[in-house]
Structure 1
Amino acid sequence: MALVRIDGEDLVVVMEGLDKLWAFKSSLTIPLANVRGATADPGIAADPKGFRAPGAHLPGVITAGTFHQDGEKIFWDVRDASKAVVIELADERYSRLVLQVDDPRTTVALVENALR
């Protein structure tokens, strides 16, 4: 699972527990100027992932790490699709972050409010 917070003018994502190992990342910091928006999307787990490099993917268990699809890099950290949030980015290494969070509605509201 990931913790999402706003720190000044940055969106900060911190991976918890073993997710750091599976995702090959412990945290990400993205300037809010490069965040386009956030949505709760439990159905995204069923979408094609592309190929992973590096990361872990066991269908129905975990999707974590960097995935390449249609010329884009997408960062995943999801075990429970019902808690998935998608954060769209611009001018960043990743075009999107797909994260499992504790409370998707609260996380989406946090990001959207920070963008206003």
Structure 2
Amino acid sequence: MALVSIDGNDLIVELEGLDKFWALKNRLAIPLAHVRGATSDPGIVREPKGLRAPGTHLPGVITAGTFHTDDGRVFWAVRDPAKAVVIELADQRYARLVVEVSDPRATVDLIEHAQRAEA
């Protein structure tokens, strides 16, 4: 599970518990100016993940870490697909973040509100 928050002009994603271990990361900070948008997308887990490096992928159990696709790097931290949020990025190490949150709708609303305030 990830905690998504806004700190000044940054989107902060903090992983909790064992997700830090599986993803080999504990925190990401992304400038809001580089966030293109966010959506709740339970179906994302069915998409091809690409090459894992480094990370963990046990189909139907957990996808966590960095995966390389034709579209760029994707950071994953998902166990429950129903709680997956996709955050699209520009000009960052990752092309997108796919994270599990406790309330996907509230997380998407938080990001959209922060983007409007940033503009």
TM-score by length of 2: 0.96
**Partners of 1:52 and 1:22 in 2: how far apart?**
12
More displaced stretch, 69-78 vs 59-68: 69-78
Identical columns (%): 70
Alignment RMSD, CA only?
0.5
Instruction: Return the offset for 1:72.
Output: 0.4
Superposition pairs of residues 31-42 of structure 1, within 5 angstroms: 31-42=31-42
Aligned partner letter, 1:89: L
Aligned residues: 116
**Structure 1 gap segments, 5+ residues each:** none
Q: What code does the residue aligned with 1:65 have?
A: G
Map Cα deviations across residues 45-89 of structure 1 (whole Å, 9 max, x no partner): 011000100000000000000000105000000000000000000
Aligned letter for 1:70?
D
**Match in the other structure for 2:107:** 107
Q: 2:52 aligned with 1:82, yes or no?
A: no
Match of 2:55 in 1: 55
Task: Name the CA distance, whole Å, in 1 between partners of 2:37 and 2:8.
Answer: 17
Deviation at 1:3, TM superposition (A): 0.4
Query: Distance between the aligned counterparts of 1:93 and 1:23, measured in 2?
Result: 15
Shift of 1:40: 0.2
Moved segments of 4+, more than 3 Å? none
Q: Secondary structure at the match of 2:28?
A: strand
